[in-house]
Amino acid sequence: MRKFKLQVQTTVDGYMAGPDSQMDWMTFPWTDDVGDYINEFQAPVDCMVLGRNLAEGFIPAWESGPPGETQETIDWMNNTPKVVISNSLTESPWKNATVAGGDLTKTITELKAQEGGDIITYGGSTLVSDLIARDLLDDLYLLVNPTAIGTGLPVFPAGDYTRFRMVDVRLFECGITALHLEPKRA
């Protein structure tokens, strides 16, 4: 079965964006060791899952070839098939992307059962929280920036405890710490 991975940048206090979706707290520029780490766990990925809100900015941004990114990364982001989770869209306005609505657990379970490489999601906050709450992720790669913002869009759902097993921790030259976690399952 395919693995379903989360990659997200987060603050030390667990937010993936500020209250108005601000991202100015992120640590840049990244050092080469961060890029090497990401390339390592993305290598087996051949499908992305995105929430509709994230897709609306993410897909066009990569299609425009953002400055500072390698052509290899731009090509990978654009050529990797995407599934956009949305109950408001009926068809995809983007190339190389399909829309899936309805029951999130059923959609992800069916994706994971298909032939292919691993699947990755980058969020947004509502989708990530739902995936964690429903125990649908197999690996979480949290890129923890050395910043606290006090409030914002959380990575983790409010309510019940979610327990994880620490697989790996890496500190990078730019100050980001990567946490590789797996859900603890009964």
Nearest to 62 by CA among 181, 7, 70: 70
pLDDT of residue 6: 98
Structure pTM?
0.94
Cβ neighbors of 142 (< 8 A, separation 6 or more) are 6, 8, 10, 155, 178, 179, 181
- Neighbouring C-beta atoms of residue 166, cutoff 10 Å: 9
Determine the Cα–Cα distance for residues 171 and 96; give it in Å rounded to an integer: 34
pLDDT of residue 69: 87
Nearest to 75 by CA among 49, 103, 42: 42
pLDDT of residue 28: 83
Domains of the chain: 4-174 (3.40.430.10)
pLDDT of residue 162: 87
Cβ neighbors of 153 (< 8 A, separation 6 or more) are 15, 16, 17, 18, 19, 21, 124, 125
Residue with tokens 């993410």: 58
Residues of the chain with pLDDT under 70: none
Helix 104-113 with 125-133: angle, nearest 10 deg: 80
The pair of structure tokens assigned to 124 is 């947004």
